[in-house]
Structure 1
Amino acid sequence: MRLVTTIRGTLPVMVLALLAWGASAPASAEGGGTRAGGDDAPTAFVPCGDAAALVTAVGQVAASGGTVALAAGCAYTLTSVAATGANGADGLPVITGNVAIVGTGSTIRRSASAPDFRIAEVAPGGRLSVSGVTLSGGRAVDGAGILDAGDLTLQRSAVTTSVASGVGGGVQVAPGATATFSLSHLSGNSANDGGGVHVGTGASLTVNSSTLSDNTADSTGGAIANWGNSTLSAAVIETNHTTNFEGGGIWTSLGNMTFNGGRIIGNTAGSSGAGIANFGSTLHLQATAVSGNVATLNGGGLFSHAGNTQIVGANITGNTAHGGQGGGIFSDGGSVSLIATNVTGNNPNNCVPALAGCAT
């Protein structure tokens, strides 16, 4: 009888202790999934705003693997270079192992007064997963937010206001690398090519339910410049811009570009193809709205210069070729086929040359 009383008295205390521990743990560090680096890999909890502790924590797991958990709602401001390699300066140690950085509304940013460096770099063979974190303010030649030469996952995260003088203002997916963005946002980034993200030859990009907006490229691909294989589902490409050349929203050459069930809206191009410009890819556009895009020259919605373009069940409406032809679609090379697609209400005309299935 006394034993039963003791157990009954102890259980509530144990339960309360477990509940208190669970409430204090960062939400993004919880759950039944395997930790980065394996079940035995360490998790480092970084105090709010302590950038030095963040750099130390990443350095401790960068090669061996592990999880770095940031305090919810806190900003970590990097003021100096943590590593310098063949690709230039980095604000965090280079990732060569399997690393997760998790937070809840947390931010890692480069100080405006700091020397130029990108925020993070993933080396070949390395894996980085970022969840619930915004990375901002990076400055580099390539991949100013993140240079990914391995495997990168962004989940409910953002890369913003990063500037590359070369390619990939937000993210560079280097040749042969892979990247996946889910429920994430790339905005306000800029580069010469691929203001939001640059996908290198043989690289792979998967975008799910994410938005790329207000990114700028001096040359091609305001949001995305694709040389590899990119698949976008339920994505939004919105109000991106190229200053001089094609692909205000998307520029694609080589490889494959598949866009399914999303929107390409309100983008502008300094030349042709304000929504999307195909310079040699196999392009599949399905169940997508392409509207409100404005090109300085030809192809407000779509510009085809080379490659094969198939458009199925899409709506291409309200686009403008301000100084040229084919407000909806303009083709001077490659092949374009329309299946159950609505191309209407574009200015000054819908399709040049005429395409089967395009309104005259």
Structure 2
Amino acid sequence: MSQSHVAAMLSRHWKLAVLAAAGCATVTAATTIAAVAHSGQPDAGSVATAADGKGMPAGDGGGKGEGVEGKRDHDRGGKGGHAKGDGEYGGHHGGADATHVECDPNDLIANLVDLNAERGGELVLAKDCLYTLTANQDDNGLPEITQPIAIHGNGATIQRAANGDDFRVFEVGVGGDLKLSHLTITRGKLGDGGEGGGIRVAAAGRLDLDHVTLDRNSTDLENSDGGAVYNEGVTTIRDSTLNKNTSEDGAAVYNQAGKLEISDSKITGNINDPDLGYPALYNENGTTKVKKSLLSYNYGYYGGGLYNREGVAEVEKSAFTYNFGYYGGGIYVDDPVYVRDSTVAHNTVAADGGGLILNDAAVIENTRIYGNVAIDSEGGGAHVANAGNTVVFRNSEIHDNQAPGNGLSGGGISISSGGRVNLTDTKVTGNISDREAGGVQNNGTVTTNGKVRIIDNVPTNCQATGTNPVPDCFG
């Protein structure tokens, strides 16, 4: 069967699906799109990194919410949806060959079908339009992306209809290369076993998000992954916001054996399964790098912000603040992680590791860990539970953390049997626990290098002399 015949069949298939869906023939633009401000969230610009005191990227941390539908006259001179040039669409226009899409989900679907058949291209959406999707094909609201396609959102929003079937918005298939900019994606939804409530990226697929908001997308809280994005390919996210998405695991992004890079972005208010769910960013068997980003007010059972499992994770110039987990409020590590020039602050857990729980080799460098709380266990700042591998704290500060539970210790750092910690040019100060030691509770092995200061911790800086002593620690 020829490629043109397949394309024609696919186009007819989508048109039939669209016509069969109730209410999809008439779609109006949004008169307003309200910004969703996360209640109580700190301004990212006020969260300084530990090493240089520079602020995080500015912004409100919220995403665009549900649009208010209303009619709007685009006066396109007849159809005109495929006309090129600036016209009244304004904003980001793409290249000279970009196609302008009417404020109509049917036109968006038709253009995507055409670009898949024509080996890719660029689309410019109608300025500030609200595209409401009602058709569902193979759990997707739009045709699967199989070619290089760029969509310039122009401030538009694409959403699943509130009373529609459950489906994600985009799927990037094998060979697909999707670039999205200046766009909001909201209300994508999948049930039990779903992957990627907003966007799914297959192995050998690519996704690039630039100034994109993924807001209130979801997969079921049982046996499902990636509330906003599920990635098996290569995904790059920059200058974007992932806000109030939900899933069992990886409510913001689930990176399954893929490559994930996030920069200058905000990941806020995402919720995972409260019983056994993994946090906002879940890296499993993949590679994840987070740079100049804020992860705040996220919730997960195993870590609120980031969980690294059987992969490699790197964090640079980022802040993990006000997250909550049962274990490891900010970061949970089962495999190697490198954190530098960052802040882990004001996170809370019911059990171990208010700021971090470290079960494998890790380097924490030029980083401040403060104001974290382990409510009913040990390691207010950090809990080290690995056996055989070393956790290095270098040029860092661990201060004013708490392990307040009755009979509990290690307000700053707790180290389990077999755990190894190296402190180099690091300060452990002002931490509090119910019993000794308030600073470093050591049941493993601690080595020190350079200027190490363990002072002003309550009730003691380190535990009694002779029981796994901490070098250079007195009182």
Instruction: Give 1:316 shift.
Output: 0.4
2:168 corresponds, among 118, 124, 145, to 118
| 2:228 corresponds to 1:170 | yes
Which has the larger strand fraction? 1
Q: Which amino acid aligns with 1:351?
A: I
Tell me, in whole angstroms, the C-alpha distance in 1 between the residues paired with 2:128 and 2:217: 21
Report the counterpart of residue 4 of structure 1 in structure 2: none
> Residue 274 of structure 1: SS of its match in structure 2?
coil
1:27-106 equivalent positions in 2, closer than 5 A: 27-30=91-94, 43-48=98-103, 50-63=104-117, 64-81=119-136, 83-84=137-138, 89-106=139-156
Unaligned residue ranges in structure 2 (runs of 5+) = 1-84, 404-410, 429-438, 440-475
Q: Structure 1 residues 188, 62: CA separation in 2 closer, same or farther (over 3 Å shift)?
A: farther
**Separation in 1 of the partners of 2:123 and 2:164?**
23
| Partner Cα separation in structure 2 for residue 321 and residue 153 of structure 1 | 37
If the length of structure 1 is used for normalisation, what is the TM-score?
0.85
Q: How many residues align?
A: 317
Displacement of 1:43 in angstroms is: 2.7
Instruction: Say which one has the larger Rg.
Output: 2
Task: Give the superposition deviation at 1:29.
Answer: 2.1
2:256 alignment counterpart: 200
Q: Distance in 2 between matches of 1:235 and 1:289?
A: 11
- Are positions 1:311 and 2:364 aligned together? yes
CA RMSD of aligned residues (A): 1.6
- Is it true that 1:187 corresponds to 2:243 in the alignment? yes
1:27 partner SS? coil
Percentage of matched positions with identical amino acids:
27
Q: Which amino acid aligns with 2:163?
A: S
Q: Tell me which of 214, 219, 222 is aligned to 2:279.
A: 222
Whole-Å separation in 1 of the counterparts to 2:293 and 2:324: 18
Q: Please show how residues 1-360 of structure 1 align to structure 2 within 5 Å.
A: 22=86, 24=88, 26-30=90-94, 43-48=98-103, 50-63=104-117, 64-81=119-136, 83-84=137-138, 89-140=139-190, 141-149=194-202, 150-165=205-220, 166-174=224-232, 177-201=233-257, 203-218=258-273, 219-227=276-284, 228-242=286-300, 245-269=301-325, 271-280=326-335, 282-305=336-359, 307-333=360-386, 334-348=389-403, 349-353=411-415, 355=421, 356=423, 357=426, 359=428, 360=439
**Which stretch shows the higher mean deviation, 143-152 or 65-74?**
65-74
Unaligned runs of 5+ in 1: 1-20
CA distance in 2, matches of 1:277, 1:266: 15
Q: Is the 8 A contact 2:89 2:126 kept in 1?
A: no
Normalising to structure 2: TM-score of the pair?
Answer: 0.65
**What residue identity is the alignment partner of 2:330?**
G
Cα separation, 2, equivalents of 1:304 and 1:222: 15
SS at match of 2:307: strand
8 Å contact kept, 2:189–2:197 = yes
8 Å contact from structure 2 (residues 249, 280) kept in 1: no
Cα offset, 1:256, TM superposition: 1.0
Q: CA deviation at 1:358?
A: 5.2
Counterpart in 1 of 2:471?
none
SS of the residue 1:343 aligns to: strand
